[in-house]
Structure 1
Amino acid sequence: MTAPGGEKVMIVGAGPAGIRAAERLVQAGIRPIVIDEGIKAGGQIYRRPPHGFARPPEQLYGSEARKAVALHTVFDHMVAAGQIDYHPQSSVLTIAGNFLQALTPAGRRDFTCDRLILATGAMDRLAPIPGWQAPGVYSLGAAQIALKAQGVALGSRIVLAGSGPLLTLVATQLLKAGAKIAAILDTSAIRDQAAGLPGMLARRPGLVLRGLLMRAKLGRLYHAGVTLDRIETDERGPVGLCWRDARGHAHVTACDMVGLGWHLRAETQLAGLAGCTFDYDESWSQWLPRTDRMGRAAEGLYLAGDGLRILGADGAEVAGRLAATACLADMGLPSPDARSDLRRLGRYERFARAIARAFPWPGDMIRAVPDDTVVCRCEGVTAGELRESVVYGGGEANRVKSLARIGMGRCQGRYCQLAGAELIAEKACIKVCDAGRLREQAPARPLPIGLWVRDA
């Protein structure tokens, strides 16, 4: 738990970045504290099923099965050998300096550390369309979790919509599991995908070819360059998705489940609470923490993985090693040569930029949603209410939040902030970056109020 110099090192997150960071610290003789929300380590991309689940890794992870098993094995060995202080099913609620508070299976617990590595990963990036607040409308990630963790599809006639590699991957996984998919609707135009393809092929041709093969197997189910108009619902949930194809022709696809997702957004709540500086990334249309190439964000604070840059699982492993290497160097301990990993990181970053170009965030679609469209599902805030708040309060995100309550619900703006910024910017006639970002509020996750009542 304590470094040779007497310093405590903590890692939040046990996905690919967190696992590789822990491995590098253990190799240097440090026993880090690892806190993770999952029942088992692996993160979302390599999420492990419960005990007794019969499907083998090849079915769960496809071509990435060997990487997933290797990461699981590394982490499980460190736990079994007592080389890390591991806290699964635990959520960090707040960070203040070197003090962290977490919700664990045993209740609230306080931690202190001298150096902190945040490997918090990413989550679905969602855009509002009329009807998306109905039961039976899920994120692509939720559909994937249900399939990996429980072996179930969340509907009997499914429509998947959005853009990005995850759309193709989840569709392929559901079809392979025997689910019935009615349509796969991609808002990215073929011309955008073609523009990003050379950059992707130049950096990771094998991965791109596997993705193209998956796409080809989707056949006539897949439609590119679509516009999503609305989800038709009844009291039980979706009954159809209304959309227009690339030529503008209208369609209605019958369904009882809709999965939505536009690639990923970095999970940055804890980074904000820890005091990170943020910059608006035009390529990814989101605010990302500012660090150096090794992941240093501030004295004793390091970031790694998709919570810093959306680089995927392989990039997260590299970033995890780099953050741990920086941590070792800052403690005055021997650290490996980082040049090889920095070159790999650069290649993954260029690939990610090509992905962002191929599958752009649908800003124009969001700005055109009708006034009665729900933008914040937690608080039921509509696009019209948000636009009206801009008229009264101006185009600053936190001012609009105080007036309209967008971002005040359970998700703390994780699902609505990016779309809300588009609507604020459109109404105020400003750039999205000029609207600013919502300030983080502790706790970062909902928690039982009884934990504080007992203290009182």
Structure 2
Amino acid sequence: MTRTVIVGAGPAGIRAAQTLVEHGLRPVLLDEAARAGGQIYRRPPANFERPAEALYGTEAGRAKAVHAAIDGIADRIDYRPGSLVWNAQAGSLDVLDTATSTSRAVPYDRLIVATGATDRVLPVPGWTLPGTYSLGGSQVALKFQGCTIGRQVVFMGSGPLLYLVAYQYAKAGAQVVAVLDTATLADQAAASPRLLTKPATLAKGLYYLGWLRTHGVALHRGVRPVRVLGSDRVTGVVFHDGQSERTLSCDAVGFGHALRSETQLADLLGCRFAFSPVQRAHLPERDAAGRSSVEGVYLAGDGAGIQGADAAEWAGERAALALLQDEGMTVDPGRVSLLENRLSRIGVFRRGLERAFPFPEDWAAQAPDELVVCRCENITAGELRATVRDTGADEMNRLKALSRIGMGRCQGRMCGVAAAELLAHAAGVPIAQVGRLRGQAPIKPIPLGLSAGPEAAA
């Protein structure tokens, strides 16, 4: 019998598992979290009492549907929560059981990679202060731990997640001091034709904006974050509003510039990558069905390119159908066509979002030399510029070897975007030309005293 494994139990992984079950397969579903749902629909502990409407806001219905989907197939899949995939080889994954700190090999014949996304971080001076969180980390605190990151919170950066998190915090009763968006109103107006291809999604975004305004949250567009203030912890933020610097008092900051795909596993599996100008990143290649360049490996959801939760569900189902087709099983061609059409149309909306919330391409030019870029290795922007100047480095892995950027615990997951921007600016080359940090095991931190567990047959 074919050993089928899915990595990731967010919207893409759950819909993939559901589709495989409906066609008689019993997949292994590896989930780093304690409960299925992913980041966007992260489930709180079982004894958590706040209703879904309070946790997910307008996304409560979708969240409950995804949770119901995984609950409905629980007895027909091999679900393994607390399972961190930290390495991959041909036909086998190395998986850490976080409860026991043991690692075991999980073999597979066909693999669906649905690893999701994480925050795209562009640091500012003071971002290492206690009380500074990524937007995703702010969400985790609220959804899983039932707390806010502070009493008076400023959210800054750009992207739809910025307003969603601010709305969720304010809805939960937190004091949101302000939302600082680097995008301008003109950016968002220019994106309107493409955003109107998904009017319901656009309406939700406008609802968040309207709700925040009517509840007294200050919204500032076209700003440039300057620094986070404080000594022992956050006491405020400084931003430039286009005319002068302004200061806001707060005790916590959530920040980020949209999301970046978690591609390290696809890299270790040998998938071919290509640069995406829309997402300003190198991404693993896949066809319309989700097949990667490696036979038997399928890519779904934000881990292969940021498209959003709805698209992740469709992509997870489509990848599962591709897997079934490759196994010689009959699938509904009408459903295949519908999913591919939906995914094709979402690309137009996605380009609209990138226009509405453009990446701040002048960030590298504005970053001061003393700015810490890599927290793991305490590497500054000035050190990276000096490395480029002194050695002529113009490629990310060369810069890594010479400066240690990306050699810390996060393996470049947090600092890689900023380092690439600094390298491209210092070397005077396009961002696509500097390449990407090659994936290295372990993908995420694992215990030093890791011991081997029993082999697990999938």
Tell me the TM-score range normalised by the shorter chain: over 0.9
After superposition, where does 1:324-343 map in structure 2 within 5 Å?
324-337=320-333, 338-343=336-341
Given that 1:128 and 1:366 are in contact with CA atoms closer than 8 Å, whether structure 2 keeps it comes out as: no
78, 90, 99: which one aligns with 1:97? 90
- Give deviations 1:28-62, integer Å, cap 9, x for gaps: 11111110011111101111111221111111112
After superposition, where does 1:56-95 map in structure 2 within 5 Å?
56-79=51-74, 81=75, 83-95=76-88
Match in the other structure for 1:379: 377
Match in the other structure for 1:3: none
Match in the other structure for 1:242: 238
Q: Choose 431-440 or 218-227, whichever is displaced more.
A: 218-227
- Give deviations 1:234-290, integer Å, cap 9, x for gaps: 12x111211111x32210111111111111100111111111111111111111111
Letter in 2 for 1:419: A
Q: Choose 65-74 or 396-405, whichever is displaced more.
A: 65-74
SS at match of 1:280: strand
Q: RMSD value over aligned CA atoms?
A: 1.4
Letter in 2 for 1:224: R
Given that 1:376 and 1:416 are in contact with CA atoms closer than 8 Å, whether structure 2 keeps it comes out as: yes
For residues 296 and 118 of structure 2, the distance between their equivalents in structure 1, rounded to whole angstroms, comes to 25
Given that 1:115 and 1:300 are in contact with CA atoms closer than 8 Å, whether structure 2 keeps it comes out as: yes
214, 225, 231: which one aligns with 2:222? 225
298, 302, 316: which one aligns with 1:320? 316
346, 349, 374: which one aligns with 2:347? 349
1:212 aligns to 2:167 (yes or no): no
After superposition, where does 1:50-449 map in structure 2 within 5 Å?
50-79=45-74, 81=75, 83-104=76-97, 105-106=99-100, 107-201=102-196, 203-219=197-213, 221-235=218-232, 237-245=233-241, 247-297=242-292, 298-337=294-333, 338-393=336-391, 394-449=393-448
For residues 187 and 363 of structure 1, the distance between their equivalents in structure 2, rounded to whole angstroms, comes to 11
Q: Taking structure 1 as reference, are residues 454 and 74 closer, same or farther at Cα in structure 2, changes over 3 Å only?
A: closer
28, 42, 62: which one aligns with 1:33? 28
For residues 452 and 151 of structure 1, the distance between their equivalents in structure 2, rounded to whole angstroms, comes to 33
Given that 2:12 and 2:300 are in contact with CA atoms closer than 8 Å, whether structure 1 keeps it comes out as: yes
Q: CA deviation at 1:217?
A: 2.3
Letter in 2 for 1:243: F
Runs of 4+ off more than 3 Å:
452-455
Match in the other structure for 1:49: 44
- Give deviations 1:372-423, integer Å, cap 9, x for gaps: 0011122111000011111233111111111111111111111111111111
Q: CA deviation at 1:209?
A: 1.3
Unaligned runs of 5+ in 2: none
SS at match of 2:105: strand
- Give deviations 1:180-204, integer Å, cap 9, x for gaps: 1221100011111111122111x21
- Give deviations 1:414-442, integer Å, cap 9, x for gaps: 11111111110111111111111001110
For residues 380 and 346 of structure 2, the distance between their equivalents in structure 1, rounded to whole angstroms, comes to 38
Given that 2:103 and 2:451 are in contact with CA atoms closer than 8 Å, whether structure 1 keeps it comes out as: no
For residues 54 and 228 of structure 2, the distance between their equivalents in structure 1, rounded to whole angstroms, comes to 32
Q: CA deviation at 1:367?
A: 2.8
Letter in 1 for 2:6: I
SS at match of 2:328: coil
Given that 1:130 and 1:230 are in contact with CA atoms closer than 8 Å, whether structure 2 keeps it comes out as: yes
For residues 59 and 439 of structure 2, the distance between their equivalents in structure 1, rounded to whole angstroms, comes to 34
Given that 1:268 and 1:289 are in contact with CA atoms closer than 8 Å, whether structure 2 keeps it comes out as: yes
Letter in 1 for 2:338: S
Letter in 2 for 1:369: A
Q: CA deviation at 1:454?
A: 10
SS at match of 2:191: helix
Given that 1:127 and 1:366 are in contact with CA atoms closer than 8 Å, whether structure 2 keeps it comes out as: no
Given that 1:140 and 1:170 are in contact with CA atoms closer than 8 Å, whether structure 2 keeps it comes out as: yes
13, 16, 24: which one aligns with 2:19? 24
Letter in 2 for 1:351: F
SS at match of 1:450: coil
Letter in 2 for 1:410: R
Given that 2:190 and 2:356 are in contact with CA atoms closer than 8 Å, whether structure 1 keeps it comes out as: yes
- Give deviations 1:64-122, integer Å, cap 9, x for gaps: 2122112111211211x2x1111101100101111111001342111111000000001
For residues 219 and 363 of structure 2, the distance between their equivalents in structure 1, rounded to whole angstroms, comes to 20
Given that 1:8 and 1:114 are in contact with CA atoms closer than 8 Å, whether structure 2 keeps it comes out as: yes
Given that 1:367 and 1:422 are in contact with CA atoms closer than 8 Å, whether structure 2 keeps it comes out as: no
Aligned residues: 445
Q: CA deviation at 1:363?
A: 2.1
